[in-house]
Amino acid sequence: MARYIFITGGVVSSLGKGLASAALGALLQARGYTVRLRKLDPYLNVDPGTMSPFEHGEVFVTDDGAETDLDLGHYERFTGVAARGTDSVSSGRIYSNVLEKERRGDYLGKTIQVIPHVTDEIKDFLRIGDDEVDFQLCEIGGTVGDIEGLPFFEAIRQFAQERPRGECIFMHLTLLPFIKASGELKTKPTQHSVKELRSIGLAPDILVCRSEGDIPAKEREKLALFCNVRPESVIAAKDLDSIYKAPLAYHAEGLDQAVLDAFGINPAPRPNLGRWEDVVDRIQNVDGDVRVAVVGKYTQLEDAYKSIAEALTHGGIANRVKVRAEWIDSEIFEREDAAPHLEGFHAILVPGGFGERGTEGKIKAAEFARTRGIPYLGICLGMQMAVIEAARNVAKIKDAASEEFAGADPRAFTPVVYHLKEWVKGNAKVTRKKTDAKGGTMRLGAYDAHLTDGSKVAEVYGETAIEERHRHRYEVDIAYRDKLEDAGLCFTGVSPDGKLPEIVEWADHPWFIGVQFHPELKSKPFAPHPLFEGFVKAAKEQSRLV
């Protein structure tokens, strides 16, 4: 049976519970243990799939097709353990499950209450995969004191009470603000946060304290005394210039040792941190830098493209260069010429998105990259816009557009991108209608693709059979393949049945690839995705030509 580590947060949100959880998972792996990381979110949406990127950042998609919180991306990037749909749950999903059971009569006519029915549902979720790994790390979203989080806090309190002693510990992440005027590091917010936690029956075994610098011995002892933890279990989480330095930084602070001590694991296995030492070395010792323009429609919030930002960093790690990504709102190009904004960049990336806003600007970015010979990577909508650009400007397909945003009258445009009505998932056919509910109805999760032997993308992958994660409702129409290939845009990756285009590339371009899937979701600092490694390599070569 697994040991459980529950990670909670206090004082303020967005302190980095997800990163702390991911880094701890990596450190436990370095000591030879197996881990699984889970996220319990208090919001009432069933999942983040229908939420705006401005509300919740990106939606991270798992191989099994679940739309989950972006923290699962951190978990995968740091541990290499593929996330599953059972690694993420929200209040909305919990309540939905409870109500479905009530409607079926599973509760035999009883009055349905938060305790025990909702808390029991949460505990059932926690038990999934109990015998699969050595440690389960469960992060509770939000901060202690949030009213919507109370059922989760109560559930983990009950869960820890029901397990044998020594199988569950609690790690609490807080903020130690530094008051410049007085030159003091203040512990009172953390003390109050722990007091709030203890008032609902939870006591932290480990305190992880975000701060700008070291925690002096006096403040560390004060925190230990008033928060009832050992001084060596007060861990400083100092600001870092790269999140990938976190495992080594937390190890230096003794986080992994404090966790093993809390479980009574002695002697503890020695850690092998070679993987992270290599990553940090590649970050610190670079051979120049490259400028990459990310032309998107949610650029005001970088978390909307979190996995893309990190995958670019991974590409830089692989090539020992610093990737300087600059986020450009694609709507600008609908009012102004794209050239002044894009000149001087070594590569252009156009990411995914939904809806019409900013799409004409993405088309202009693809045209600029094609005509200027600039390395280009189009992802999902970014691929579709590259196809529309090729159809309009090279293949001369009149009024080429996407059915997603080209208007209600089908006679007013040529739909080279259409609403996907059916596809094959495993051995089953999946069908969809435009009128279907939005949540969970896209082509989601891992799908196979076959690559053309000798193509640029086959060279990048080093193989011709791949599996990648998807999240989209619209697809390039294979019926236009011949006309587009005659114009020079090659369909070099297709679904196993040959009906769905997965990858396009310009044959006469140094590096121009569009993919229907999301390669950024599978990239890791110690195993960069081949497309991002190749894209940054092309940008590095371009930088030497400029």
Q: Which residues are catalytic?
A: 380, 518, 520
Choose among 230, 240, 188, 183: nearest CA to 207.
Answer: 230
Which residues contact residue 467 at a Cβ distance below 8 angstroms, ignoring those fewer than 6 apart? 446, 447, 448, 449
| Angstrom distances, CA of residue 431 to CA of 423, 436, 472 | 7, 10, 14
Distance CA 148, CA 157 (A): 16
**The tokens of 210 are what?**
């975000």
Helix (H) or strand (E) holding 247: helix 246-253
Closest to 35 in 3D by CA, of 67, 80, 65: 80
Distance between CA atoms of residues 223 and 209, nearest Å: 10
Q: Helix 150-162 and helix 91-104: axis angle, to 10°?
A: 70
Which residue type is seen at 506? W
Q: What is the three-class DSSP state of 545?
A: coil
Query: Can you tell me the distance from the alpha carbon of 252 to that of 465, in angstroms, rounded to the nearest whole number?
Result: 42
Which H or E run contains 170? strand 168-175
Query: Which residues does 355 contact at the CB level (< 8 Å), separation at least 6?
Result: 297, 404, 405
CA dist 242 and 233 (Å) reads 24
Amino acid of residue 356: E
Residue in the block written with tokens 């917010």: 189
Helix, strand, coil distribution of the chain in percent, nearest 5 = 40, 25, 35
- For residues 11 and 143, is the Cβ–Cβ distance under 8 A? yes
For the chain, the C-alpha Rg in angstroms (whole number) is 25
Alpha-carbon distance of 7 to 40, in angstroms, equals 10
List own/partner pairs for 54-59 with CB under 8 A and 24 or more apart. Answer: 54/298, 54/300, 54/301, 54/304, 57/301, 57/303, 57/304, 57/306, 58/303, 58/304, 58/305, 58/306, 58/307, 59/471
d(CA 373, CA 390): 14
Which residues, 6+ apart, have CB-to-CB distance to 155 below 8 Å? Answer: 118, 119, 122, 123, 126
- Beta strand pairing call for 376-379 and 512-515: parallel
Residues 387 and 341: their CA atoms lie apart, in Å, by: 22
Q: Which residue has the tokens 């940054």?
A: 536
Cα distance between residue 193 and residue 215, in whole Å: 18
In angstroms, what CA-CA distances link 1 with 36, 84, 132? 13, 19, 8
Compute the residue count for the chain. 546
